[in-house]
């Protein structure tokens, strides 16, 4: 089975595929900027603005916190994913993915849009565990409209967004050497099994594999 294997180099996280077969992961986002360096075939992601594709020799730049889903990677497709702290990019990234020639030091600001501030509704939903009915009453709209507007702006439902936010918390804990069972509880999951299913679906690796390969010796 094909999966992602993660390693750490200081503040930089690097992921490579191991195993064979196709590979798909569901909608998710990262707290880091993701550089997908396509080394063979092509890579493609679906975001709220559509599908972005790149062939070998190109790099897809995905801004931090931008929800995206990996379209199926065929056996001949491959890439190296590099995750970098967003502060390294300053204000040069917009809120949509970019495709640049591999080897460019950073995306050309001319081709980037300035960051778009989230709406008040999106900010309220992502700030914490807010009851959607209370939000609906606050904004004078229905609960269903809250969900639709949030999904239109982010590409994910409020529930899915919060789950992935907790997955990113678990990911940080695992990088710090916390055991998967403890990370599950601290990140708000029912148990290690619950975390494991969600983590693999979003990041293409189990929490245990991620912790062992990202933080060798722990």
Length of the chain: 218
CATH code, 3-111: 2.60.120.10
Q: How far apart are CA 9 and CA 72, in angstroms?
A: 28
State which residues of the chain have pLDDT below 50.
107-116
How high is the pLDDT of residue 218?
54
Q: How far apart are CA 101 and CA 41, in angstroms?
A: 15
How high is the pLDDT of residue 123?
74
How high is the pLDDT of residue 170?
96
Q: How far apart are CA 211 and CA 137, in angstroms?
A: 42
Contacts of 124-127 with C-beta under 8 Å, sequence gap 24+, read 125/150, 125/158, 125/161, 125/162, 126/161, 126/162, 126/165
State the CATH class of domain 158-214. mainly alpha
How high is the pLDDT of residue 213?
77
How high is the pLDDT of residue 217?
55
Instruction: Single out the residue of 39, 65, 67, 74 nearest to residue 52, CA to CA.
Output: 67
């Amino acid at each position: 089975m094909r999966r992602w294997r993660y390693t750490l180099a200081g503040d930089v996280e690097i992921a490579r595929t191991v195993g064979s077969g196709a590979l798909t992961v569901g909608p998710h986002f990262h707290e880091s900027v993701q550089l997908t360096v396509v080394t063979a075939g092509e890579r493609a992601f679906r975001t709220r603005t559509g599908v972005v594709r790149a062939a070998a020799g190109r790099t897809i730049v995905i801004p931090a916190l931008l929800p995206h889903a990996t379209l199926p990677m065929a056996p001949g497709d491959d890439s190296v994913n590099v995750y970098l702290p967003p502060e390294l990019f300053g204000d040069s990234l917009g809120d949509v993915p970019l495709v640049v020639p591999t080897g460019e030091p950073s995306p050309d600001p001319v081709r980037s849009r300035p960051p778009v501030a989230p709406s008040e509704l999106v900010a309220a939903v992502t700030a914490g565990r807010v009851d959607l009915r209370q939000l609906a009453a606050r904004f004078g709209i229905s609960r269903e409209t809250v969900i639709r507007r949030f999904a239109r702006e982010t590409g994910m439902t409020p529930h899915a967004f919060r789950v992935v936010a907790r997955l990113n918390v678990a990911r940080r804990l695992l990088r710090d050497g916390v055991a998967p069972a403890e990370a599950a509880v601290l990140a708000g999951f029912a148990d290690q099994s619950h975390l494991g299913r969600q983590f693999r679906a979003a990041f293409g690796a189990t929490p245990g594999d991620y912790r062992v390969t990202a933080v060798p010796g722990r």
